[in-house]
Structure 1
Amino acid sequence: MTNRKPPGTSFRFWVDRQISDAQSRGDFEDLPGMGKPLPPPTGRDAATDWALRRAREGDLDVQAFLPPSLALPREIQDLPAKLANVHAERQIREIVEDLNERIRQAHRLPQEGPPLRAGPLDVEEVVANWRNERSRPGARAPATLDGPW
C-alpha cells in the first residue's frame, strides 16, 4: 500500500517517485506479459475489440458483451436445455422469475442495440412444459417438493 501524498509535493513528482521506488525494488520484473506487445487499437471501439478477441480465444464469455436486447432472447432460446437439468419445480419458478425480472428491467431502461422484442414468460406455462417434457418415456419424473422425501 502506498503512503499518502505529502503536503506541498506535486502529484506528478509524488507519482514519479512511487514508480522509481518500485523499479528499484524490482516490483516490475517478471510480470506476466512482459515483453509482449499490447494488441493494437482498431478504431473507436479498441477496448471492446480487444475484449472480444480475448473472448473468442476462450478466456471470456462473449454473452457478457451483448446488449440485453440480444442476450435475453438467446437466454430464452436456451431455457429448455437449462431447465432439463433442474429437478425441482421451485427452482424452475425461481429461474423463470429471475429471467422475467431481467426482461422487465431491460424494458424499463433505455435500449442498447436493437429493440428488445421479448416479453416476460408465463411461469405456469413454462412449468407445465417442463412437466410434460419430464413425463415423456425415458425422462425422470419432475420433483414438485424440495428435499429428499
Structure 2
Amino acid sequence: MTEAWDAAVEAQIRGAVQRGEFDNLPGMGKPIPGRGMPYDESWWIKSFLEREKLPSDLMLPTPLQLRRRIEQVPDEVRDLPTEQSVRDFVGQLNTQIVAWLRNPEGPRVAVRPVNADEVVRRWRAERAPAEAATPAAEPATVVAPAPPPRRSWWPRWLRRR
C-alpha cells in the first residue's frame, strides 16, 4: 500500500515538473534560511517575530517585562510635557506592577513599584537646563486662596455665645 502511494505521489511530482509548475517560484535560487545552523527548537517563534516585526520582549515572562519597562522609565518620560503626565505614566506602570504582585506568575523576580516623586524629580532636573536656556516671561504672581473657616467640633447648640 505504501509503495503504491509513494509511486503515485512521485508520478504527480514528475508531471508537475514537466508542465513547469515549479518554475519561477518565490525564493528560487536563494539559499534556504538557517541551513548549516544548529537546530533551534523555537525557530518558528523567532521567524514569526522577525516576519511580523514584533519586539522580542513579548517572549519574556511578565516580571522581566515589568523590570525592562522600569529600566526604560527615564527615557519614556523625558519628552512628556507636564508633571501630571509623568505621574500618570508612572501610575499606570505601578498599576500593572501591583496587579502582578497580587497574582504573580512566572519566575520569582523582585519587582517593586516605581517611586513617582523620584521620577518627577529626575524629570525636572533634566528639564531645568533646557528651561534655563530659553528666556522666561515675567512670572505671574499667584495669590493663595484663603483657608476655609475653622469649624468647631462642638455641636452648635452647645457652643457658647
| 1:64 Cα deviation from its structure 2 partner | 2.0
CA–CA separation in structure 1 for the residues paired with 2:65 and 2:94? 13
> Where in structure 2 are the equivalents of 1:16-27 lying within 5 Å?
none
Structure index of larger Rg:
2
> Hey, what does 2:114 align to over in structure 1?
121
- The total of aligned residue pairs comes to 99
CA–CA separation in structure 2 for the residues paired with 1:82 and 1:56? 24
CA–CA separation in structure 2 for the residues paired with 1:140 and 1:99? 27
> Hey, what does 2:126 align to over in structure 1?
133
| 1:60-111 superposed Cα distances (whole Å, 9 cap, x missing partner) | 1222221111111111111111111111111101110011011111111232
| 1:52 Cα deviation from its structure 2 partner | 2.9
CA–CA separation in structure 1 for the residues paired with 2:67 and 2:104? 17
> Hey, what does 1:20 align to over in structure 2?
none
CA gap of 1:140–1:53, structure 2 versus 1, over 3 A, is: farther
Aligned AA for 1:54? F
| 1:97-126 superposed Cα distances (whole Å, 9 cap, x missing partner) | 0110111111112321x3231200111121
State the identity as a percent.
Answer: 31
Give the TM-score normalised by structure 1. Answer: 0.55
Give the TM-score normalised by structure 2. Answer: 0.51
| 1:57 Cα deviation from its structure 2 partner | 4.9
Aligned AA for 2:126? E
CA gap of 1:115–1:56, structure 2 versus 1, over 3 A, is: farther
1:55 aligns with 2:46: no
Gap runs ≥5 in structure 1: 1-33, 35-41, 142-149
RMSD across aligned positions (CA): 2.9
Give the one of 78, 91, 98 matched to 2:72: 78
CA–CA separation in structure 2 for the residues paired with 1:80 and 1:59? 25
Gap runs ≥5 in structure 2: 1-25, 27-39, 133-161
CA gap of 1:140–1:62, structure 2 versus 1, over 3 A, is: farther
CA–CA separation in structure 2 for the residues paired with 1:72 and 1:140? 32
